[in-house]
Amino acid sequence: MPHQTEDIEIGLLLEALYQRYHYDFRHYARASIKRRLLQARSHFNMPSLTALQERVLHDPEMLPRLLAFLTVQVSEMFRDPGYFRALREQVLPHLRTYPSLKVWIAGCSAGEELYSMAILFREEGLFDRTLFYATDINPEALRAAEAGIYPLDRIRKFTENHQNSGGRSSLSDYYTADYGRAVFDKSLRANVVFSDHSLVTDAVFAEMQLISCRNVMIYFDRGLQDRAVGLFKDSLARQGFLGVGSKESLRFSKHAAAFTEFVPEEKIYRKREP
């Protein structure tokens, strides 16, 4: 009975967030969203999810604090180095033939993947002709991404990943250590557009040669996954590339036929010719 009550409360809270603030979590995987809401209830010392709903409805300053629980902000630079090595060795040779490029990092979190991509493109001589779009639904995450500041104790792992991805330089070339923080060079943001964009409710972003959306769709239900993949399909240029997370796949998507597996082991797809 308590579980049934919680499920009702979750449905009402998600509907309230959508109606009041236009953030739509209604089609996220329910087990994941339930776990995060229960963590938020405990963190804010609320007696129930209904109490949490009342607080967020009547206190707009509560919204970003709740969003921090509902949006996953865990990443690292050059996460899954094999993915970036595959981009470097197999995808970028194709992109090199374009006079200009557009790259979309969807669900950019605090910017780790964006900076990884910017460094990769700089090392391969493609940065100056590339416009990067970094999007997320969480304004706090976008602000963190735009700042490009990370705790210094994370840099060792970032550096290891960069080396394993086939990095052609030292990661230290791209940041300055300052008071226990690594501040990434603002030149890496010179060609970046940071934007609030929802894969749940927003439309096609722009015509892209590469879209990287990793470890985001794993939190969506099947219908929402199909919507996101359809959005990527419509956003990609002819024969554009799509990279997804290691635990994600297009195999069961209703849009699967629009893509070929380009580097299957790294979950990199290519849009088929029309």
Residues whose CB is less than 8 angstroms from the CB of residue 136 and which lie 6 or more positions away in sequence, other chains included? 71, 107, 108, 109, 142, 145, 196, 197
The ranges assigned to domains in the chain are 1-70, 81-271
Q: What is the pLDDT of residue 2?
A: 61
CATH assignment, 81-271: 3.40.50.150
> Which residue reads 């069961």 in tokens?
252
267 burial via Cβ count (<10 Å: 0-12, 13-18, 19+): buried
* pLDDT tens readout for residues 6-24: 889 999 999 999 898 888 8
* pLDDT tens readout for residues 194-240: 999 988 888 887 799 999 999 889 888 889 999 999 999 999 999 99
* pLDDT tens readout for residues 27-79: 888 888 899 899 999 999 999 999 999 999 999 899 888 988 887 666 899 99
What pTM does this model have? Answer: 0.87
CB 162 within 8 A of CB 174: no
